Structure 1
């Protein structure tokens, strides 16, 4: 009995991965002016840079079919949900909606099968 191996990346995985890469890159550019402000907190800037680079790493690992990348992506979004408690209600709800959609896309059966066959 032969088990079918999924070789093609599901569209859902590609979309989520590219959104994470884009979000990380845009976030780095958005905060680029903060790096040269004289009164900026260097520890905060390193934290922001780390979080943005982590988003890019998440996207790349999703594209490279690393199963743990799904959980890393969800944790990254959950962190942003916690941060959004300090912002507007609309921003908080937007992050929660993104978390729900990304979680769904990363764990639908086709996506799960793609990561299950990774190794």
Structure 2
């Protein structure tokens, strides 16, 4: 089955977010400092965005859930930030979830699993 455009769009957005985030946050990493668990967690989260995007393109159903969990995690993180950030992450969460669970997308992931 041909990959739906909605899946392709979300996948490339997450690949881009992962790459940009990895590059941006990698510059903050200091090899001389100890116990940078917060920075390692940030890099891990950015890597998960990239991995999720790549495997969405490959039709992996688990990647669909990874991407939804990834943006859901950001919604939870946004609770401690500004209202506009919370609203924006919530809108992105709803949009990504809707695009990945459209009937055509669901059929694509069922056939590819």
Whether these two folds match at TM > 0.5 is yes
Q: 1:39 deviation in Å?
A: 6.9
- Which of structure 1's runs of 4+ aligned residues deviate more than 2 A? 36-41
Structure with bigger gyration radius: 1
**Correspondence for 2:11 among 1, 8, 17:** 17
Q: Structure 1 stretches of 5 or more lacking a match? A: 1-6
Q: Deviations over 1:25-56 (max 9, x none)?
A: 11112213311397786111110000000000
Structure 2-normalised TM-score? 0.92
**Correspondence for 1:108 among 102, 105, 109:** 102
Question: Structure 1 residues 8, 44: CA separation in 2 closer, same or farther (over 3 Å shift)?
Answer: same
Structure 1-normalised TM-score? 0.88
Aligned-pair RMSD on alpha carbons? 1.7
Q: Structure 2 stretches of 5 or more lacking a match? A: none
**Correspondence for 1:95 among 63, 78, 89:** 89
The residue number in structure 2 matching 1:61 is 55
Count of matched residue positions in the alignment of Structure 1 and Structure 2 = 113
CA contact (8 A) 2:68 2:93 kept: yes
